[in-house]
Amino acid sequence: MAMKKMEGQGDHDLNCLTIDELEKHAYNMMDKQTRDYYNEGADSGSTLRENIEAFGKYRIRPRVLRDVSNVDTSKDIFGHKNSIPMGVAPTAMQRLAHSDGELGTARACKKAKVAMGLSSFATTTLEDVAEANGDNPHVLQLYLFESREHSHKLIQRAKKAGYKAVFLTVDTPFLGRRNLEIRNQFKLPPHFKIANFAEDEEPAMGDEQTSNSPNQARQRKPKEASKAGYHDGEKRVLPTGPITFHSHASNPTLCWEKDIEWLKQECCPEMEVWVKGIATGEDAILAVHHGVSGIVVSNHGGRQLNGALATLDALPEVVEAVQGKIPVHVDGGIRHGTDIFKALALGADFCWVGRPALWGLAYKGQAGVELMLRLLSDEFKLCMGLAGVTRVQDISKEYLVKVSISMRDRKV
């Protein structure tokens, strides 16, 4: 008699049974510029690696002889039932991976009932993404621009399009040093657009004449920007002066007092304000004090401060500092369903995955993102069942043990 398999476990892409295999397929599907831009971390890449390896420090303590015939992996987020406690993190320029781009991600997320984060630097308009994602919850990742007028307009558009929250990225006062990006003189090919910049504001990444890297890009000509696909006919007011890609993303003047207050006034009550990029208990306490609705423990996938703590290692101090007052989410290095289980056992309410979605897109567009979500979802469900847990809220630190250095291995 065959052993019982969990629902969903039979539906395989035999060429791609794990996220690690997906990464390998994606590697071959992307041109070098894109692959390096997506995959690299800052400087030596040690924080990127440690984000992944941190999961290998823990083993699961499974409990047995519990009825696990009904495992419920769902988790509520923004008043919606998400199929698993995981969403797709905002990552820039998804159309570099596949022409489906952010629309493919949005449709895959909708199908899988998984929340989606949209990057400020998307290659698709936030309105089109909202439409493709339907009533599935989506959040807008925000870089708070030095031009308040521009941020104001972006926020208003997000509200109108039904975004549930803005995730203010706070780990990017300056852009981290990404050496491959610099060496490759990475640029967005001219047929793609950073779609959510107002026409004259759009950075001219990849302008044939200028051949700029993201940090150096200059102003795009309105003629080119007009192909970006705006459809609300609204005239947008633009800041003056030379505009660089870098200056849009990073704003070294940001601080708790003036900026979080301003952002709350802009967003609330229609959208929640979260901070993405918290890595210490001290900042978590400040986040609660300043009234944000939630925290994402993140080091930007190891792309900003190399040498920073792996996010799984930073998570416990943040959870302790927050004392359940607001939700604590985490991203970085999640490559298997057991990683989601471990993050939740250490106190996270929810996880986000970045690169795996890009690899899914590169592999097969929307279908590849669907596959990625199915793999993590199936693995997580199986992990819960085999660990003897039937409800997400029951995943706790009792299910984990930290092992000695000699026992650590990512590929457990």
Ligand X SMILES: CCCCC(=O)C(=O)O
Ligand Y SMILES: Cc1cc2nc3c(=O)[nH]c(=O)nc-3n(C[C@H](O)[C@H](O)[C@H](O)COP(=O)(O)O)c2cc1C
Name the residue with the smallest CB distance to ligand Y.
354
The CA-atom distances, in angstroms, between 274 and each of 139, 157, 181, 292, 345 are 10, 18, 29, 5, 22
Q: How many CA atoms lie within 13 A of 130 on its CB side?
A: 15
Tokens 């890297």, located at residue = 213
Residue 303 in contact with ligand X, rule: CB under 6 A: yes
Please identify, among the stretches 115-123, 253-261, 282-290, 362-370, the one whose residues bind ligand Y according to the rule CB under 6 A.
115-123
355 touches ligand Y by CB under 6 A: yes
Contacts of 308 (CB under 8 A, 6+ apart): 47, 279, 299, 302, 314
Residue 217's binding partner among ligand X, ligand Y, none (Cβ under 5 to 8 angstroms by kind) is: none
Give the residue among 358, 237, 354, 256 at the shortest CA–CA distance from 299: 354
Q: Which amino acid is at 232?
A: D
The interface with ligand X within residues 31-50 (CB under 6 A) comprises: none
Minimal distance, residue 245 CB to ligand X, in Å = 6
**Contact indicator for 165, 274 with CB cutoff of 8 Å:** yes
Taking the complex as a whole, the smallest distance from the CB of residue 121 to ligand X amounts, in Å, to 5
Element (H, E) at 282: helix 281-289
Residue 354 lies near ligand Y (rule: CB under 6 A): yes
According to the binding rule CB under 6 A, does residue 358 interact with ligand X?
no
Among 245, 350, 359, 363, binds ligand X (CB under 6 A): 245
Q: Of 25, 150, 300, 329, which is the active-site residue?
A: 300
97 binds ligand X (CB under 6 A): no
Nearer Cβ to ligand X (253/404): 253
Within 10 A of 256 (CB to CB), how many other CB atoms are there? 15
Q: Which stretch binds ligand Y (CB under 6 A): 11-19, 201-209, 279-287, 331-339?
A: 331-339
Question: Do residues 117 and 87 lie in contact, with contact meaning Cβ atoms separated by under 8 Å?
Answer: yes
Is 220 a binding residue for ligand X by CB under 6 A? The answer is no
Partner whose footprint covers residue 395, from ligand X, ligand Y, none (CB < 5 to 8 Å by kind):
none
Closest distance between ligand X and the C-beta of residue 141, in Å? Answer: 8
Shortest separation between residue 100's beta carbon and ligand X, angstroms: 19
Q: Is 58 in the site for ligand Y (CB under 6 A)?
A: no
337 scored as a contact of ligand X (CB under 6 A): no
- The token pair at 350 is 């929810």
Residue 139 burial (C-beta neighbours within 10 Å; 0-12, 13-18, 19+)? buried
User: Read out DSSP for 288-315?
Assistant: HHTT-SEEEE--GGGTSSTTSPPHHHHH
Per-residue HEC secondary structure of 338-387 comes to: HHHHHHHHCCCCEEEECHHHHHHHHHHCHHHHHHHHHHHHHHHHHHHHHH
Should residue 353 be labelled a site residue for ligand Y when binding is judged by CB under 6 A? yes
Contact between 368 and ligand Y by CB under 6 A: the answer reads: no
Read off the DSSP letter of residue 70: S
Residue 51 binds to ligand Y (criterion: CB under 6 A):
yes
351: tokens are 């996880």
Instruction: Classify strands 58-60 and 400-402 as parallel, antiparallel or unpaired.
Output: antiparallel
Q: Which of ligand Y, ligand X, none does residue 86 bind (CB under 5 to 8 Å by kind)?
A: none
Q: How far is CA 275 from the centre of its chain?
A: 13
Please tell me whether residue 355 binds ligand X under the rule CB under 6 A.
no
Query: Is 300 an active-site residue?
Result: yes
Instruction: Check binding of 92 to ligand X (CB under 6 A).
Output: yes
What's the closest the beta carbon of residue 288 comes to ligand X, in angstroms? 25
Out of 33, 82, 91, 377, the only residue in the binding site for ligand Y (CB under 6 A) is 91
The residue among 37 and 350 lying less far from ligand Y, judged by its C-beta, is 37
User: Which stretches of the chain bind ligand X, using CB under 6 A?
Assistant: 92, 121, 175, 214, 245, 249, 300, 303
Q: Which residues belong to the active site?
A: 300
Q: Interface with ligand Y by CB under 6 A: which residues?
A: 37-38, 51, 89-92, 119-121, 141, 169, 276, 298, 300-301, 303, 331-334, 353-355
